[in-house]
């Protein structure tokens, strides 16, 4: 039995697979949006090629009951850099009312109230 335990432990270690936040997130009709939304995957893959993916943060939020992705390059000094809809089109934040913008900032940017950060993967 003692000889069997190390073998079983090794099998257990190699069979474990860490789940990422994205892999546990279902949004826009897909599970794991980082891998299963083609436009988002392409943007992240492009940054990987340029070795800038470690500077990206993607947060899931909502505007008027519609899921959106806050796509922020962390070295930029913008409050909300670019926001995309599920189909990859950009959201024009200037068309939001003050109340809607406050709600968006709270639910996407608030330290304790924002939606899930799906990139960088953890």
**What mean pLDDT value characterizes the chain?**
83
Residue pair 57/115 in contact by the 8 Å Cβ criterion: no
88: in domain: yes
User: Does the predicted model carry a pTM greater than 0.85?
Assistant: no
Enclosing domain of residue 98: 21-119
12: in domain: no
The 10s digit of each residue's pLDDT in 93-116 is: 899 999 988 888 888 877 787 889
4 pLDDT band (50/70/90 cuts)? very low
4: in domain: no
Supply the pLDDT for residue 11: 44
61: in domain: yes
64: in domain: yes
Average pLDDT over residues 14-18: 48
Which residue did the predictor score with more confidence, 39 or 109?
Answer: 39
The set of residues, in sequence order, having a beta carbon less than 8 Å from that of 47 and lying 6+ positions away, is: 53, 55, 56
For the chain, what is the domain count?
A: 1
């Amino acid at each position: 039995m003692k000889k069997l335990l190390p073998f079983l432990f090794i099998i257990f270690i190699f069979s474990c697979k860490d789940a990422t936040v994205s892999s546990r997130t279902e949004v826009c009709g897909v599970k794991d949006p980082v891998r299963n939304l083609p436009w988002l995957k392409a943007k992240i893959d492009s940054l990987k090629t340029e070795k800038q993916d470690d500077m990206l943060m993607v947060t899931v939020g909502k505007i008027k009951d519609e899921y959106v992705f806050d796509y922020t390059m962390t070295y930029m000094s913008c409050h909300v850099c670019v926001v995309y809809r599920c189909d990859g089109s950009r959201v024009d934040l200037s068309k939001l009312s003050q109340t809607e913008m406050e709600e968006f900032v709270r639910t996407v940017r608030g330290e304790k109230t924002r939606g899930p950060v799906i990139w960088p993967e953890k």
